[in-house]
Amino acid sequence: MKIAIGCDEAAYRLKAEIMKHLDEKGVEYQDFGADEGETVLYPDIAVKAAEAVARGKFERGILVCGTGIGMAITANKVPGIRAAVCHDPFSAERARKSNDAQIMCMGERVIGVELAKCLVDIWLSCEFSGGGSGPKVERIMEYEKEYLEKAGKP
């Protein structure tokens, strides 16, 4: 599995710890920024990583900022992406199993490093279960397609 990972300056330390954790687990990833000491607009990082996931260059993505909220909002603007804020084990599991989220977002100002690593492990180990959630995710994608068509972007 290949992961796209990115952060803004508010979450560089957490991203660095997650990357070390991925290295220890042998998970391949590409860092989309920011670098230590670099000030960026988190939407720029989120869009780059989400586009790479949407194009199929990466199976999943991990985005971190102060709260995870801004990264999720931005990543969800990229057609085909489902990004979820995950700050507890249940949300990390359900993001994958129920919502088929390809991108998890976390906040350095909200959770600690050890919890973040635990959530990454849960999220990476889960697959979309379909079942009763299948039609719901399909409907999400139908609405997305409908709105893109209305905007003249098939």
Considering only CA atoms, which of 74, 22, 24 is closest in space to residue 48? 74
38: how many CB neighbours lie within 10 A of its CB?
A: 11
- Cα 80 from Cα 102, distance rounded (Å): 9
Catalytic residue among 7, 65, 86, 105: 65
Q: Clarify whether 65 is annotated catalytic.
A: yes
Considering only CA atoms, which of 56, 70, 77, 81 is closest in space to residue 141? 81
Catalytic residues: 65
